[in-house]
Structure 1
Amino acid sequence: MEQDQKPGRINFISCVKWVRRGVAKSNPDKVRLNKDELVRLINETRSELRASEDVSQAEASTRMNVDDEFNLENYDEDDDDKTTAQLLGISSLAEVEGATEDHFSESDDSDKEDDEIKPEDNLILAGRVEEDCSTLEVYVYNPSEESLYVHHDFSLSAFPLCLEWLDHEPGHSAGNYCAIGTMSPIIEIWDLDIINCLEPAYKLGRKPSTKKRLSRIGHSDAVLDLAWNKNFHHILGSASVDKSILLWDLDEGQPATTINAFEDKVQSIAWKTDEAQTLLAGKCLNKFITL
């Protein structure tokens, strides 16, 4: 997946992951946002990008009038759509419409044919960094046709470091999801069967806020690796720069177990396939630990 790039231009793939053939929807859903939803997402994105330990204080000091700044009164005009997309770093926002209450739309036959994922298609997930924009790209690879292309992508709020496929979302049947570890301590889980989605299906972790009197949940630094337990589908392991491993209960959205047996960053983790309770961890200083 090498691409030509200009000298000095930042453009690279930081992490990749296969998706098992046959788990993706043949015709993914498409999202349409109304203006109020888009304003909310812009404010939330700005807050995340500028936040420090106290998210509320940072947001209060930098918040601006979104309607005036981005001329959302003329939201349906092409130029304004382009400006909004550039703010969010989203390349797949072309179909957003301004006056609809529906979240999902029915495409015409030609669009459906272009978006269709065939039974013989393979999916590849890639975390891409291009200048100051980070995205999760979903590639389709068809070996018989010898074709490889980006089917859809998602805009990320932080530099992607690791990916893990899983099928679990609380309260839903088995699906097609990707957990992403980034330079942020918050883990995002995205629904891969939705196109033009601007928000993850759910998140794991919470930054502390003095003003809101909220304590931290989860890691305090970047997430370096993720490992989903294929025997217990509600368990996800995460390794971090903060020298810890967390075992998340996805149904509760909380860490069920915290492992602080390390003197340095935990670089990688993997579950033993035939023993659901055994986890292998690799840390800095070239050492392995079996937990």
Structure 2
Amino acid sequence: MKVALVPCVAWVKQGVPKARPDKVKLAKRDIQELIEGARAETSETSDNDDEEEQTPADQGSKPQKKGLRGSAANQLPEKDGEDEGEDKYKMADYDKEDDSGATSGMSGIACFASPMEDPLLQHGNADESDEDEDEKEDYEIKPNDNLLVIGRIVKDEFNLEVWVYNHASNDWYTHHDYILDAPPLCLETISYDPGAENPEHKGNLVAVGTMNAVVNIWDLDLVNAVEPVVTLGDADADSDGSKKKKRKKRDGSQQGHSDAVLDLAWNKRNEHILASASADHTVILWDLEEAKISTVLTHHNEKVQSIEWHPAEDALLLSGSMDGGVTISDCRSTDTVAQWSFEGVEVEQVLWNHFNPFYFLVAGDDGSIRYCDSRKGNETLTTVDAHGKAGVTGLALSQSVEGLLTSVGGDDTVKIWKLGKQGEIAFVADNKPKIGPLHCVRFCPDVGTVVAVGGEKGDFVRLVDVAKNETVKTAFDM
């Protein structure tokens, strides 16, 4: 695959990460020995077993060296511009069977009930005399630091990168990353730790939806980890390469998704619930306490591309699919509360207006943004042509500046809009971050004017502070 892009980003709020994350102390040689040992125990080895395994450093995403805080070197690493191939986005070929007989090779790594029991972990209070002061400062997460989690696809390399952003000091640098075994399609941060003995510890997790039909959950406070802390779903649930089928247990219950996971939504009011939307036309509600399925919603007839929990009603879930269907579901009974149908439009994203949660927005591949009243099924208050034929690929609403809406699209442009109290959507300004067609946008949860956008050229990710635009400042009385 000649694909290079950032399809998803997610923010971590200030104060959530550990000040000094734990480290898995594995040398490159140790990882190679573990992989080779696991392959010998589980199955036949492939012809290229002697090849050196890639590490994050090989991929150019290792944290930059000394003194990153406040330095002029706080830039995302440049990548080769290999995103113009004729087969870009042909992700459907990703999960074809590999006849080489090679296995994932990670089954030989021991798991521990608590990270404190793992002898390979270096905890935050361990002796770190071998680090100089600059490295210690860069490794420490300050109380006013935000983390930005980035899902990156570069050809056949898939990474989850964790960056530090400090608005006050203008720090912006990579902290650590993880190697993924499948292309990341969506991210959702989770401030909840179902296994924590201390109830005050909320956890610092990220759920990753993948092409492999599973949801992998990584602990962002654990650096150098080689595998997620838990996987939701059955990684072997694919069929023989043609039409994927839903795998079920003997009692008829579903084990997980049977196709790619396209979106995720964590329920902040019922913290043990995570929802996942899939190309298999279903939405699954996962119980994080038990790491198993709680409910399966089957009301969509096409791929479900976007979901979001209501900001005030913890049982209401908004969802949108590729056939133009938008649904509000009551997950207590799986009943449909209201429906909309936008014929000929693929719904790219749905988004509640958390300042006035009777209303929500719908982004379409036709370039439109629609504003709807949840109390008036199948009606639209306002429609604007935002990005034309390039389509709207992402929407984000500021957490603190009322009415501040951004959209991104395949036209390489970030657009800023103002949501009016009567349902109007007024254009304010635009910005071209010069990273090619844009695929995602998220507002920083603690800085209401900063958005992160992901694209497919140059450095792939940019932070845009819309408050630097005079027109925006005037429109929102900043």
User: Same fold by TM (over 0.5)?
Assistant: yes
Residue identity in the other structure for 2:122 = F
Corresponding residue of 1:102? 120
Aligned identity (percent) is 41
Alignment check: 8 A CA contact 1:42 1:88 kept: no
Spell out the pairing of 1:270-285 with structure 2 (5 A cutoff). Answer: 270-285=308-323
Corresponding residue of 1:30? 23
Residue identity in the other structure for 1:159 = P
Corresponding residue of 1:55? none
Quick one: which of 161, 177, 187 aligns to 1:137? 161
1:247: how far off?
0.3
1:69: how far off?
2.4
Corresponding residue of 1:255? 293
Matched, 1:63 2:101: no
Distance in structure 2 (CA, Å) of the matches to 1:39 and 1:205:
28
Corresponding residue of 1:153? 177
Name the structure where helix makes up a greater proportion of residues. Answer: 1
SS of 2:257 mapped into structure 1: coil
Distance in structure 2 (CA, Å) of the matches to 1:247 and 1:113:
40
Alignment check: 8 A CA contact 1:208 1:214 kept: no
Distance in structure 1 (CA, Å) of the matches to 2:121 and 2:273:
30
Alignment check: 8 A CA contact 2:56 2:62 kept: no
Corresponding residue of 1:11? 4
Distance in structure 2 (CA, Å) of the matches to 1:241 and 1:257:
17
Answer with 199-208 or 83-92: which moved more.
83-92
Matched, 1:286 2:285: no
Distance in structure 1 (CA, Å) of the matches to 2:265 and 2:37:
32
Task: Extract structure 1 runs of 4+ deviating beyond 6 A.
Answer: 34-37, 87-90
1:202/1:280 Cα in 2 relative to 1: closer, same or farther (>3 Å)?
A: same
Alignment check: 8 A CA contact 1:27 1:112 kept: no
Deviation sequence 1:54-86 (CA, Å, 0-9, x none): xxxxx74x53499x726xxxxxxxxxxxx2335
Distance in structure 2 (CA, Å) of the matches to 1:233 and 1:38:
38
Alignment check: 8 A CA contact 1:207 1:217 kept: no
Alignment check: 8 A CA contact 2:22 2:121 kept: no
Distance in structure 1 (CA, Å) of the matches to 2:273 and 2:265:
9
Structure exhibiting the larger radius of gyration computed from Cα positions: 2
SS of 1:276 mapped into structure 2: coil
1:144: how far off?
2.3
SS of 1:69 mapped into structure 2: coil
Report the RMSD for the aligned CA atoms in angstroms.
3.4
Quick one: which of 177, 180, 183 aligns to 2:205? 177
Distance in structure 2 (CA, Å) of the matches to 1:251 and 1:241:
25
1:272/1:27 Cα in 2 relative to 1: closer, same or farther (>3 Å)?
A: same
Matched, 1:116 2:170: no
1:102: how far off?
3.3
Answer with 163-172 or 259-268: which moved more.
163-172
SS of 2:307 mapped into structure 1: strand
Quick one: which of 246, 266, 270 aligns to 1:228? 266
Alignment check: 8 A CA contact 2:56 2:177 kept: no
1:286: how far off?
2.0
TM score, norm. by length of structure 2? 0.47
Distance in structure 2 (CA, Å) of the matches to 1:87 and 1:17:
20
Distance in structure 1 (CA, Å) of the matches to 2:140 and 2:263:
31
Distance in structure 1 (CA, Å) of the matches to 2:326 and 2:194:
32
Deviation sequence 1:148-174 (CA, Å, 0-9, x none): 111111111111110001023332242
1:265: how far off?
0.3
1:259/1:42 Cα in 2 relative to 1: closer, same or farther (>3 Å)?
A: farther
1:227/1:87 Cα in 2 relative to 1: closer, same or farther (>3 Å)?
A: closer
Deviation sequence 1:209-246 (CA, Å, 0-9, x none): 89xx9957210110000000011111000000000000
Structure with the greater relative contact order (CA < 8 A, sep ≥ 6): 1 or 2? 1
Contiguous gaps of at least 5 residues in structure 2: 64-117, 240-246, 330-478
Contiguous gaps of at least 5 residues in structure 1: 1-7, 47-58, 71-82, 94-99
1:88: how far off?
11
Distance in structure 2 (CA, Å) of the matches to 1:224 and 1:43:
34
1:271/1:89 Cα in 2 relative to 1: closer, same or farther (>3 Å)?
A: farther
Distance in structure 2 (CA, Å) of the matches to 1:170 and 1:279:
22
Alignment check: 8 A CA contact 1:163 1:179 kept: yes
Quick one: which of 268, 271, 283 aligns to 1:245? 283
Distance in structure 1 (CA, Å) of the matches to 2:236 and 2:145:
42
Distance in structure 2 (CA, Å) of the matches to 1:226 and 1:131:
24
1:103: how far off?
2.5
Residue identity in the other structure for 2:270 = F
Quick one: which of 47, 54, 68 aligns to 1:85? 54
Residue identity in the other structure for 1:122 = N
Distance in structure 1 (CA, Å) of the matches to 2:55 and 2:31:
17
Distance in structure 2 (CA, Å) of the matches to 1:245 and 1:9:
30
SS of 1:33 mapped into structure 2: coil
Matched, 1:165 2:147: no
